[in-house]
Every structure is written in C-alpha cells, then in structure tokens.
Amino acid sequence: MTKLKENILNRLLSGETISGEQMAMKYKVSRAAVCKCVKDLRLDGYDISAKSGRGYSLCLGDMLSAEKIQMLAGGEWKAEVHETLTSTNDAAKKHAASGGNFVAVLAETQSAGRGRLGRGFFCKKGSGLYISALIRPKLDMTDCGKITAYAAVVAAKAVEKLCGKSVDIKWVNDLYMNSKKICGILTEGGMGFEGGSLDYAVIGIGINVTDPCFPDDVREVATDVQTESGVKIGRCELAAEILKGLAETETQIKNGGFIADYRSRLFMLGREVVVNGSYTAKAVALDDDCSLILEREGKRIKFSAGEVTLKLK
C-alpha cells in the first residue's frame, strides 16, 4: 500500500469526513492522486461514500479490517484478514516458523477450524470472530498451562466491555453467557529445546458474535453475544481489545494478577462434574497454576488436562 493511500485510509478509519481538497493540501499532492487512492481503496473492498460539500467518509459496517484492528490495538501488533482459511492457528504458526511476533491472523470463516482435543466447531462466514494471535512471552514451560486461562479472562473482559453483560468461564477454555457457550480457545506452542522454555504461543479464539443459525443440536448448548446481550458489538473493536490484553500475557502470568478474576468466573466450582466422560467428582477449587481441584470419595485430585462437564441432575 502506498504511503498516501495508507494515510488516507487511516484518516477515514478514524471516523473523519474529509474532502479531497483537504487531503491534497495536507499531503501536498494533486486532487487526482487523492481520487486515485480512494478508487483503489474502493476496489480493495472499503465502502467509501462521497458527499457534495462535505467530502469522503467510510462506512465499515462490521467488515473486518486489518488496518482498523492495528490502529485500535496499538503497540506492535500486525493483523491480516482472510476471507477463508483452513485454520487461523495453522496460518499463525507459519508466521512463528519465520520468526514473527505479535501477529494476528483473522478469517471470515475456516474450513478446518478445531478446538481442544481435536474437536471441530460450527463456523459461519461473518457471524463470528475467528482470530489467532502469535506471541513470544518469556515463560518457563511450567507456566505454559496458564496461557489459555489468561486468554479466557482477556476474551471475557473484552466481550463484557463492549456489550455490558457478564461472561462466565467453564474450565479451562470456554466462555459462557446465560449457561450457553459463546467462545472456545485453543492454545498451541513451540518449545525452545536448548533452554527448555517456550519459543512461541499461538492463541486461537473463536467467538460467536451474531447468530450463526446453529443446527438444532448445537443451539441447545451454544449461543452468541448479540442474542444474549441485545447488543451488536463490532468485530474489529472486539479483536483489538483481545490483542491489547494478550500483549500483557507475560506480565500477567508472571505476577499471577489474572488468577483471581479467572477463579471468580468459574461457574463449576462447588458443583458435580463429569471428568473425561468416565467418572463424577466435585469441582472444589482452582489451584494457582490454574489446575482444577476435584474431590472424589473423600480425596482431593489435582486435574491439569482433560475435559470436565457439569453433571446434569
């Protein structure tokens, strides 16, 4: 993207209405150069209107825009948006292999998206936020289990900030509203073998923003932010809030500042759960390493990996 085109887009993304004459004067170019850049931006998919006597303005609607996400997120983040990918996590891992950092990969839809334990998930174009963030926090491998828990807090707070409705967490990686799932998180990483520390982490987050017309069997357990809150939140704004939070991963995990928030959102504590589909136990506490403490037959068990679901009565 040429510098002039980038400058014009950033002005429009900020919500300004600005005339071609004003932009030509500011950037010391001809009106024809401004018109060409606006034409190119329209060909790129930006809905730019021109009103007589006022100038150009941008109507984004809920279009995913890498430039807008970067502007709102700030810091070192670089974002890329795709119409479709097999998996945003896989695309982010390619950036990791080439030395990337603070890269966010987004897609309108995924053909082979996956959740924890290899599960697939329902994904409809334009209805959700599907984002994978590549970061390189300096963490020991013993702390890596906390990354997903921290990401869950970040995503929960981002949704709450934009829609005003509280969000709960199901250990370890799912967000819920009104007892139905709105979000899943999958964290993958690479290890630095020489130092025994984390090389990179890719945090994949899928949030149902508007109703994706779930199949009947999925609708029984899943929902979306707009249905539950009555608020249609912007996907670019949501992505930016999440990225701002994820930029603090290393600090938050080292000082443990997020754990109290994570613990307070767990709606399973004090309730009977089914563990890995095979036995029941009571979820009684969360350890400081984000493991779940279960009680079974009078004994307490530290549960670090696997699947727990509420026991239906």
* 52: Cβ contacts below 8 Å, ≥ 6 apart: none
* Nearest-angstrom CA–CA distance, 133 and 92: 7
pLDDT for the residue numbered 251: 96
What is the amino acid identity at position 293? I
Is omega for the bond preceding 172 within 30 degrees of 0, making it cis? yes
User: Residue 226: pLDDT band by 50, 70, 90 thresholds?
Assistant: very high
User: Which residue is associated with the tokens 């009947």?
Assistant: 216
In tens, the pLDDT along 179-209 reads: 999 999 999 999 876 667 899 999 999 999 9
Mean pLDDT throughout 156-165? 97
Cβ–Cβ under 8 Å, residues 58 and 47: yes
d(CA 186, CA 275) in angstroms, rounded, equals 19
Q: What is the pLDDT of residue 114?
A: 56
Q: What integer is the mean pLDDT of 236-265? A: 96
> How far apart are alpha carbons 271 and 281 in whole angstroms?
8
DSSP string, 17-84: -B-HHHHHHHHT--HHHHHHHHHHHHHTT--EEEETTTEEEE--TT---HHHHHHHH-TT-EEEEEEE
Q: Is the Cβ–Cβ distance between 88 and 204 less than 8 Å?
A: yes
Q: Which helix (H) or strand (E) holds 254?
A: helix 249-255
Overall average pLDDT of the 9-14 stretch? 82
Joined together, the tokens standing for residue 71 give 């502007």
pLDDT at residue 305 is higher than 80 = no
pLDDT of residue 117: 46
Percent of the chain with pLDDT over 70: 92
Q: Cis bond leading into 275, ω under 30°?
A: no
Give the mean pLDDT of 217-231.
Answer: 89
* CA–CA separation, 197 and 173 (whole Å): 23
Neighbouring C-alpha atoms within 13 Å toward the C-beta of 112: 6
- If you search the block for the tokens 């990791």, which residue do you land on? 96
The total number of residues written for the chain in this structure: 313
pLDDT value at position 11? Answer: 85
Confidence (pLDDT) at 63: 82
* pLDDT greater at residue 40 or residue 117: 40
Q: What is the pLDDT of residues 58-99, one digit of tens each?
A: 876 678 989 889 999 998 999 999 999 999 999 999 999 999
Phi-psi region of 14 (alpha: psi -120 to 50; beta: other; left: phi over 0): alpha
The residue among 94, 303, 307 whose CA lies nearest residue 184 is 307
